[in-house]
Amino acid sequence: MKKIWVNTLAVGALSIILTAGCRKDVTLVIKNESAVSGTVSFSKDLVPIFAKNCALSGCHADGAHAPDLMSGKAYNSLKNGHFIDTVSATNSIIYERLIGKLTPSMPLGGSSNPSNIEGILLAWVKQGAKNN
């Protein structure tokens, strides 16, 4: 009887030790969208979405509409153009356009929320809008 109790206690203690180091920090949850967890990479997460949906001819590319979201220019254009607000992320101009709070809503006439860009962008801004 004593051996079963010691084994149970050992297994319980081991479980606590193993799971204590396992955690997933949720940065943001938007309405019915999936949670954005972990660090958002500007170059790996946002730039590909911009390239596919925003940095198109006549839109946010090479001298068209600000901000220029071409891969080599996107970060500086967003940062220097005051499109992001790291103090109050939800007041970032780019975020307000994506959620339709400011007009015109983005992306223009296209799909709403491609690849959960609203959630990814807001999480990135809340994480300090780093050029990572």
Distance CA(122)–CA(117), nearest Å, equals 8
Contact of 119 with 28, CB cutoff 8 Å: yes
User: What is the rounded CA–CA span in Å between residue 105 and residue 108?
Assistant: 6
Q: 3-state DSSP call for residue 36?
A: strand
- Residue 37 DSSP code: E
- Residues 34-78 have pLDDT tens digits of 567 789 999 999 999 999 888 888 889 887 899 999 999 999 999
- Model confidence at 29: pLDDT above 50: no
**What average pLDDT does range 87-103 have in this prediction?**
92
Length of the chain, please?
A: 132
18-37 mean pLDDT: 50
Q: What is the pTM of this model?
A: 0.71
CA–CA gap between residue 127 and residue 70 (Å, rounded): 22
DSSP state of 70: S
Domain extents in the chain: 25-126
pLDDT at 4: 58
Q: Which residue has the higher pLDDT, 18 or 86?
A: 86
Nearest one of 85, 69, 65 to 77, comparing CA atoms: 69
